[in-house]
């Protein structure tokens, strides 16, 4: 994670359209636990309590919106909510808001992998929601959630991103080929308590993707995701 802009807390407030009464709440939203491990004498608090609060406010706001807007059954609403609030979605919000320069991380976390950075970013978004809620109230937090998170719902619904990879690939395979995918175990490695499975997903006799996982179910999801990526890549190339 390398800072590429000079955004300040004041800049971020302006971007949000919110003037905090207690700016320390917003500052705390960007303090990762690892930073305090390296700077124990600063007397600061990390963002995990704000994240805990923001997560609850986020779930309530999204759930309330979905319930009031759509007559769909619980299963649909649950899947849509999960797609809106998952790590990848919130990390995308963080990237668009360009909050990276505001993070306070340890040197080790700064050099972490993409998955770690996505999780830190998503947690920071939840902490921001918690900070807005404490400082400005529920309506202001709900406004942020509506503008930055719920606004993504149309795309999620139109692309089918709310479905898990297996469901999405099954729908695509049935639509394009009139066949239901089949999953086959191609290999197993490791002892029983730490086994890794390799699964292939087939449509007819053609393999569309392979995946590894610590369970057959996890490997199937990875294989389905690989199959989706393969089909999308071919479609883009043809276009």
Confidence of residue 228 (pLDDT cuts 50, 70, 90): confident
**Which amino acids are annotated catalytic?**
55, 126
Yes or no: say if 99 and 127 are a contact pair by the CB < 8 Å rule: no
Dist CA 22 CA 16 (whole Å): 15
Q: Is the dihedral of CA 162, 163, 169, 172 positive or negative?
A: negative
Name the class of domain 9-159.
mainly alpha
- Span 47-99, pLDDT tens digits: 999 999 999 999 999 999 999 999 999 988 998 998 899 888 899 999 999 88
Q: pTM of the entire structure?
A: 0.70
Domain boundaries, the chain: 9-159, 165-238
Q: Looking at residue 163, what DSSP letter applies?
A: S
Dist CA 156 CA 163 (whole Å): 9
C-alpha distances out from residue 135 to 7, 19, 58, 100, Å: 21, 9, 16, 22
Tokens of 126: 């939840």
CATH annotation of 165-238: 3.30.160.20
Q: What percent of the chain lies above the pLDDT cut of 70?
A: 90
- The predicted pLDDT at position 92 comes to 92
User: What are the backbone dihedrals phi and psi of residue 231, each rounded to the nearest 5 degrees, phi first?
Assistant: -70, -45
């Amino acid at each position: 994670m390398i800072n590429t802009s000079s955004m300040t807390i004041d800049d971020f407030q302006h971007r949000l359209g919110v003037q905090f009464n207690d700016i320390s709440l917003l500052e705390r939203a960007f303090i990762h636990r690892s930073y305090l491990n390296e700077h124990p004498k600063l007397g600061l608090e990390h963002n995990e309590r704000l994240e805990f609060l923001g997560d609850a406010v986020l779930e309530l706001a999204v759930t309330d919106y979905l319930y009031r807007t759509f007559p769909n059954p619980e299963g649909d609403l649950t899947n849509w909510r999960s797609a809106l609030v998952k790590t990848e979605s919130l990390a995308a919000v963080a990237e668009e808001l360009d909050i990276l320069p505001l993070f306070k991380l340890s040197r080790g976390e700064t050099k972490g992998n993409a998955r770690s950075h996505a999780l830190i970013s998503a947690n920071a978004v939840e902490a921001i929601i918690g900070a807005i809620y404490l400082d400005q109230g529920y309506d202001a937090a709900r406004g942020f959630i509506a503008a930055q998170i719920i606004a993504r719902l149309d795309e999620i619904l139109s692309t089918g991103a709310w479905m898990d990879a297996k469901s999405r690939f099954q729908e695509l395979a049935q639509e394009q080929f009139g066949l239901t995918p089949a999953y086959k175990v191609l290999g197993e490695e490791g002892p029983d308590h730490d086994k890794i499975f390799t699964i292939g997903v087939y449509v007819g006799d053609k393999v569309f993707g392979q995946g590894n996982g610590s369970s057959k179910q996890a490997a199937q999801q990875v294989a389905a995701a690989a199959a989706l990526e393969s089909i999308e890549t071919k479609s883009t190339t043809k276009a």
